[in-house]
Amino acid sequence: DAKTTQPNSMESNEEEPVHLPCNHSTISGTDYIHWYRQLPSQGPEYVIHGLTSNVNNRMASLAIAEDRKSSTLILHRATLRDAAVYYCILRGFAPGGTSYGKLTFGQGTILTVHP
């Protein structure tokens, strides 16, 4: 899987938007951009994924640059419960292929949310 680069840490205030960047300059055309987060003392949880277009779900939004070399996870109103390590992961996947779903985690971004 191609490599991603994220800032080590970011801080936000409660109820403010948070933009978490991820650089993936070597992304290939079939790589999906996935975001997972890991809350303290819990296992990672899936947040969102996208390929080319911006994506929204109940947890967050994903903005993907036109050249796909970077993306941004957007939390529209941060809460204290959003304090976690956020991982940006590229997943190469071909329908009917033999990928076994190996997730290669980078160091991630530690998000601190202040009340």
Partner 1 sequence: DTEVTQTPKHLVMGMTNKKSLKCEQHMGHRAMYWYKQKAKKPPELMFVYSYEKLSINESVPSRFSPECPNSSLLNLHLHALQPEDSALYLCASRFSGTSTDTQYFGPGTRLTVL
Radius of gyration (C-alpha) of the chain in whole angstroms:
14
Strand 61-64 to 9-13 pairing = unpaired
Residues in the chain: 115
| Separation CA 35–CA 46 (nearest Å) | 6
Rounded least distance, CB 16 to partner 1, Å = 26
Site membership for partner 1, residue 34 (CB under 8 A)? yes
Site membership for partner 1, residue 2 (CB under 8 A)? no
- Between residue 36 and residue 65, which ones bind partner 1 under the rule CB under 8 A? 36, 41-46, 49, 51
Interface residues with partner 1 (CB under 8 A) are: 32, 34, 36, 41-46, 49, 51, 85, 87, 91, 93, 95, 99-108
